[in-house]
């Protein structure tokens, strides 16, 4: 069990799609989880399928989806940090590092979960991951929380090797799946596919549940 | 949003002519365009709350539609527009969607700033 988990991502749904199983796993074990979500994904391209959001209603809808997903995953403390989608890399990096340093100081997390800097594709992911690692780097070695990172760029396997944090989330796969469904504007197409597989033959259903029952991350090494 | 009715959009564009407006204009193919398709690269641009005043605004095409706004010293252009809404705040929202319902382009006009 962790003393405190701090999850840091830029977009509503990153927490669910990248590490939803890990969050549910820690929350299920009784660890307090804080999620600092930096934007509301205002510029997202997915509007539901069939689409029901528009550019102006999207942030309001995504805020609601985020709150629902957080309560499903067991996140007790959601902080919406008030930045705008796609702009994090253009902010002064020191501003981001400072905000994350303050969160660490306040919460004293034993574990931070974020993206792996350099291997997370979206510029917002990268900006926040770099700022997070930098904030931790500035702490004296003994005070540094562990960092678990998710990576999904094409080259990540080659560069980083195998993931070392393998979580058996079979007890919480349905929780993760419910959180995926909560992000309806962003996941409708994916959910359609999963539903089809779950309704398919026994073999297909088993494979789908298996794929939802495992999650793995990298420990960040300085 | 609803599928564009060009006559209705044209009527709104005419009403907004020679009025100081805020513009939201964007196009995108998604931040992950290069992840699953080596040939693609993410392309996008947006302006939020650009100040604009036009003397002539026109919607053209059979669907998807194009809109051109002629200003004193320049143009605003968008193509691939499929859907529209005049929302409760009186803002004209125009957008294009692909077959999966994902937004591809948006052009929006408002007399008050769009929220940040």
Q: With respect to residue B29, please indicate whether it lies within any of the assigned structural domains.
A: yes
Q: What is the pLDDT of residue B41?
A: 87
Residue B2 is predicted with a pLDDT of 96
Residue B91 belongs to some domain of the structure? no
What is the domain partition of chain A in residue ranges? 5-219
CB half-sphere exposure, B68, CA atoms < 13 A: 5
B24 to chain A: closest CA residue: A55
Assess contact for A5 and A109: CB atoms under 8 A. yes
| Interchain contact, A121 vs B35, CB within 8 Å | yes
What pLDDT is recorded for position B77? 95
Name chain B contacts of A47, Cβ cutoff 8 Å. 97, 101-103
In the predicted structure, residue B39 carries a pLDDT above the cut 80: no
pTM of the model: 0.93
Using pLDDT thresholds of 50, 70 and 90, give the confidence band for residue B48: very high
> Is the CB of residue A190 less than 8 Å away from at least one CB of chain B?
no
Each residue's pLDDT tens digit, A149-191: 999 999 999 999 999 999 999 999 999 999 999 999 999 999 9
In a domain, B32, yes or no: yes
- Distance of alpha carbon A88 from alpha carbon A122, whole angstroms: 11
Instruction: Give contacts of B104 with chain A, Cβ < 8 Å.
Output: 45
Q: Which residues of A touch B114 (CB under 8 A)?
A: 56
What's residue A178's pLDDT?
A: 98
Domain that holds residue B31: 2-78
What pLDDT does B31 receive?
Answer: 75
Number of folded domains that form chain B:
1
Structure confidence at residue B36 (pLDDT) = 74
Between CA B114 and CA B116 the distance in angstroms is 6
Asked if residue B115 belongs to a domain, the reply is no
Q: Tell me the mean pLDDT in the region A77-106.
A: 97
How confident is the prediction for chain A on average, in pLDDT?
Answer: 97
Tokens 């549910």 label which residue? A24
Percent of chain A with pLDDT over 90: 99
What is the structure's pLDDT at A38?
98
- pLDDT tier for residue A67 given thresholds of 50, 70 and 90: very high
Residue B79 in contact with residue B66, Cβ under 8 Å?
A: yes
Reported ipTM: the value is 0.88
Summarize the confidence of residues B59-77 as an average pLDDT. 95
Residue B10 Cα distances to A19, A25, A201, A205, B94, angstroms? 47, 54, 52, 51, 12
Report the top-level CATH class of A5-219. alpha beta
């Amino acid at each position: 069990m962790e003393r405190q988990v701090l999850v840091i991502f830029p977009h509503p749904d990153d927490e669910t799609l990248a590490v939803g199983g890990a969050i549910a796993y820690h929350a299920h074990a009784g660890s307090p989880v804080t999620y600092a979500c930096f934007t509301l994904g205002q510029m997202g391209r997915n509007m539901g399928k069939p689409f029901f959001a528009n550019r102006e209603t999207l942030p309001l809808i995504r805020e609601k989806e985020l709150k629902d997903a957080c309560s499903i995953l067991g996140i007790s403390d959601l902080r919406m940090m008030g930045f705008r989608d796609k702009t994090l890399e253009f902010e002064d990096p020191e501003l981001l590092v400072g905000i994350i340093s303050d969160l660490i100081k306040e919460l004293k997390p034993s574990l931070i979960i974020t993206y792996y800097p350099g291997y997370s594709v979206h510029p917002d992911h990268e900006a926040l991951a770099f700022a997070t690692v930098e904030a931790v780097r500035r702490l004296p070695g003994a005070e540094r929380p562990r960092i678990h990172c998710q990576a999904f760029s094409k080259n990540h396997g080659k560069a980083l090797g195998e993931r070392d944090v393998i979580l058996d989330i079979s007890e919480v796969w349905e929780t993760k799946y419910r959180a995926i469904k909560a992000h309806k504007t962003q996941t409708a197409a994916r959910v359609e596919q999963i539903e089809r597989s779950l309704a398919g033959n026994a073999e297909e259903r088993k494979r789908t549940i298996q794929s939802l029952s495992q999650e793995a991350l990298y420990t960040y090494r300085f | 949003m609803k599928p564009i009715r060009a006559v209705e959009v044209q009527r709104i564009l005419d009403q907004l002519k020679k009025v100081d407006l805020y513009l939201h204009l964007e196009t995108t193919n998604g931040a992950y365009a290069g992840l699953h398709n080596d040939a693609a690269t993410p392309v996008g641009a947006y302006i939020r709350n650009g100040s604009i005043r036009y003397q002539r605004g026109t919607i053209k095409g059979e669907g998807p539609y194009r809109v051109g706004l002629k200003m004193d010293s320049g143009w605003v252009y968008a193509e691939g527009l499929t859907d529209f809404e005049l929302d409760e705040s009186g803002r004209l929202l125009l957008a294009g969607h692909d077959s999966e319902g994902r937004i591809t382009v948006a052009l929006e006009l408002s007399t008050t700033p769009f929220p940040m």
